[in-house]
Amino acid sequence: MNEQVLAHLAGADAVLGGLIRAVGPCGLEVSSPCEPFRALAQAIAHQQLHRSAANSILRRMIESCGQGAFPTPQMLLAAPVGTLRAAGFSSAKVAALRDLAEKTVAAVVPNATQLLGLSDEQIIERLTQVRGIGRWTVEMLLIFGLGRADVLPVDDFGVRAGFRAAYGLARMPRPKALAAWGERWRPYRSTAAWYLWRAIELKRAGTLPPPAERIRLPRLVRMRRRRTQRSRVGQRPRRSARTRAAAAPRRRLRSGGASSAPPRRSGARTRSRRHRAPRSRAPGSRR
């Protein structure tokens, strides 16, 4: 790794600089050449499986569908579903593999040469159209398959846990807060992510250095969602109690009559009866 890259990261972030000195030289390796179809097919096979189990499934797929070589998209589409199921793929992964093959044939998934002319976000936008392929999978491809230097997988558990350990935080950082903090690492965020992964290893070994300084992640303003009231066809939307109470005097004024007068106090009627003059009675009438 270029010393200039490490010097830039250490100068931009004192805590990351201490982690770099504790880990040593960067060992980030890029596997080349990278063929998107093969890399994504391998990623689908490894989802939610141990590495040895996924490699066994891939080996059986190569033997049954590719006659000893990694199958092409056309071979994968021509293979019966039962053959892929017999290799060990689940129904969801078979659907993902076939969708990957179809989108590769349709040129939605670019080849290795086309990838060189696309930006990181363009690659993410196109590859995440494949069923079962998310942003994290494409980010791993960008870092380890294409050697892109400025990728920060903020949703990765290892990156977030490494940041928490290296910076001495009590809680896991939120992805958006980590992305805001990582802006200072540009344009070498892939290297920073690699060192954050190593922070977990140092913590397990008990050799993780304490943070050089205490930090406070930037607070992100949360936008409150406005609660929309759905109204059925032919019905008015429901109003709150405060709105109905404010509209009541206006309805009384529009209607006119006694209802337009202001409401009397609760004791007014009692006092009027108490001070009322006695009625006159006819002579000889019973009381």
Q: Which residue has the higher pLDDT, 157 or 274?
A: 157
The verdict on domain 33-146 having CATH code 1.10.340.30 is yes
Are 172 and 134 in contact by the 8 Å Cβ rule? The answer is no
Q: Which residues touch 235 (CB under 8 Å, ≥6 apart)?
A: none
Q: Quick one: tokens of 160?
A: 């977030």
Q: Quick one: tokens of 71?
A: 């199958």
> First-to-last CA distance in the chain?
115
Domain ranges of the chain: 1-30+149-215, 33-146
Q: What pLDDT score was predicted for residue 30? A: 84
Q: Which residue has the higher pLDDT, 113 or 280?
A: 113
156 catalytic per annotation: yes
Q: What is the pLDDT of residues 126-177, one digit of tens each?
A: 999 999 999 999 999 999 999 999 999 999 999 999 999 999 999 999 999 9
Catalytic residue of the set 99, 150, 155, 156: 156
Q: Which of 27-36, 56-65, 96-105, 224-233 has the lowest mean pLDDT?
A: 224-233
**Can you say how many angstroms the Cα of residue 46 is from the centroid of all Cα atoms in its chain?**
21
One fold for both 1-30+149-215 and 33-146? no
- Residue 266 pLDDT more than 60? no
The CATH class that applies to domain 1-30+149-215 reads mainly alpha
Nearest to 209 by CA among 19, 70, 41, 64: 19
